Structure 1
């Protein structure tokens, strides 16, 4: 019985660690996509210590997830949705998978 409980505890621990690793990997991927697509030319994301590299005064995205869902972010970045009557100035040019990863990463920033 003890060995069975140890096996169950070990499997649970591995499962928790694997989930945390996948989440960290997705976070890293979202940040890489954000930077690779030059979102930092205009936007800051102070929660990630990202400062804009250009002179634009686009909003900081540290709390975008508090008001927007990933699906809306995807549509906004592909000019299918407007914010305050305006479309995003540049349409996202990456793959659908990258767009989804980026939108999920941005939406995870709520505070």
Structure 2
């Protein structure tokens, strides 16, 4: 189970970096008002959610039970569907923000 430990440690590092990027992008948008940075903040937040999903799947996939004596490794390929859905949702969200110009009401730039 050394591989699972290394995988989880790596995912925690990725999670920390993504949180840092998301907070930095939100703060930069708040100070500059550049909408491209707001879009980047949205992608960073979706990366954080994607990493949380990867952490949960990593934790669950190694557990065994009577029904799954070798573990629940069949969950790992399902992770590939999460980023696709999150990119689609980010596109919808970005279109909504751009079309209705709600950026100012979400985070007002200084």
Question: Which interval holds the TM-score relative to the shorter structure?
Answer: 0.3 to 0.5
Q: What's the TM-score, normalizing by structure 1? A: 0.35
Using the size of structure 2 for normalisation, the TM-score is 0.35
- Which structure shows the bigger proportion of residues in helix conformation? 2
